[in-house]
Amino acid sequence: MNNQSKIYIAGHRGMVGSALARKLTAEGHTNLITRTSKELDLRNQAAVNEFFAQEKPTHVFLAAAKVGGILANNTYRGEFLYDNLMIQNNVINAAKDNGVEKLLFLGSSCIYPKLAPQPLKEDYLLTGELEPTNEPYAIAKIAGIKLCDAYRHQYGCNFISVMPTNLYGPNDNYDLEKSHVLPALIRKFHEAKKRGDKAVTIWGTGSPKREFLHVDDLADACYYLMQTYDEPGLVNIGTGEDIPIKDLALLIKDIVGFEGQLEHDLSKPDGTPRKLMDVSKLKAAGWTARIGLREGIERVYESLSGESWY
């Protein structure tokens, strides 16, 4: 992939896609192709085929997906399965039919079995039952991995798959009903500071551990793997380190400058005790995360202004 390569970013307005666009632009790539969902419905096979036939991209980053939290995943199960299967099948197949040199497919850590050992190794895929609440999304992503591998085997396509851990960064979702824990805590502490509250409450004991990767690090890893990695299967992308939710809350409390107390609602569940990615395969490929958690959260919070970010 060089500066003249014609690169299509599917999902360029999302948190991951926009980070990929920033990274590629910073590296001097000017021939980027993007389409909004209104301009190109990736669920429409004929429209996707026509787009690829006209534009003829040489490289594709497939970051487009229908995404949401546990509630959305569990409520709109048919939509999440159908839409994601259609999006990725259409893009991957059109890439094959139009001679795309390389495609990178982005999945999610929810592909792993609910009770898989920790840390999560790539080999644990399809070794047990999935978490029921996000099973449709996970099944779609697993199908995407397998389609990339099948096209590599049958047609010689250079298609690779990566599975990022929990992400945060620019263009995150701060809706308290739908967001993940890190952006939700940033908003909670920010609003509590503004109101002069005496305490912020978090669910459960705060003992479960989670891993967090800045989306700019993910974009850097994807850019690196697009140029250097050429193997079937999948590659985990993460930091290889996790943090208890209570410690994360205290870190965000400090960064935001909230001076009240941290309280626990013990009537609420803790959730899965741990979800950590094994990143030894990624390190062996030559890439390691660079942005520390404090630095990353400070960057995010400093970039937010007023209330326009949520």
Please answer whether residues 298 and 168 qualify as being in contact, where contact means their C-beta atoms are separated by less than 8 angstroms: no
Cα maximum dimension of the chain? 62
User: Is residue 106 annotated as involved in ligand binding?
Assistant: yes
User: Is residue 207 annotated as involved in ligand binding?
Assistant: no
User: Is residue 188 annotated as involved in ligand binding?
Assistant: yes
**Which residue blocks in 156-244 are alpha helix, DSSP H?**
181-195, 215-228
What string of DSSP letters covers 35-66? --TTT--TT-HHHHHHHHHHH--SEEEE----
User: Is residue 108 annotated as involved in ligand binding?
Assistant: yes
Residues near 100 by Cβ (< 8 Å), separated by ≥ 6?
A: 52, 57, 58, 59, 60, 157
Please answer whether residues 165 and 277 qualify as being in contact, where contact means their C-beta atoms are separated by less than 8 angstroms: yes
User: Is residue 17 annotated as involved in ligand binding?
Assistant: yes
- Paired residues of 235 in beta bridges: 162
User: Is residue 13 annotated as involved in ligand binding?
Assistant: yes
User: Is residue 166 annotated as involved in ligand binding?
Assistant: yes
User: Is residue 14 annotated as involved in ligand binding?
Assistant: yes
User: Is residue 165 annotated as involved in ligand binding?
Assistant: yes
User: Is residue 180 annotated as involved in ligand binding?
Assistant: yes
User: Is residue 11 annotated as involved in ligand binding?
Assistant: yes
User: Is residue 206 annotated as involved in ligand binding?
Assistant: no
User: Is residue 74 annotated as involved in ligand binding?
Assistant: no
Q: Which of 137, 151, 168, 223 is catalytic?
A: 137
Q: By CB neighbour count within 10 A (0-12 exposed, 13-18 middle, 19+ buried), where does 131 fall?
A: middle
CA distance 204 to 37: 38
Among this protein's residues, is 8 annotated catalytic? no
Q: Which of 133, 89, 91 is nearest to 110 (CA)?
A: 133
- Paired residues of 60 in beta bridges: 8, 103
- List the binding residues for NADP(+): 11-17, 106-109, 141, 164-167, 180
- Binding residue numbers for substrate: 188, 203, 210, 270
Active site residues: 137
Binding residues: 11-17, 106-109, 141, 164-167, 180, 188, 203, 210, 270
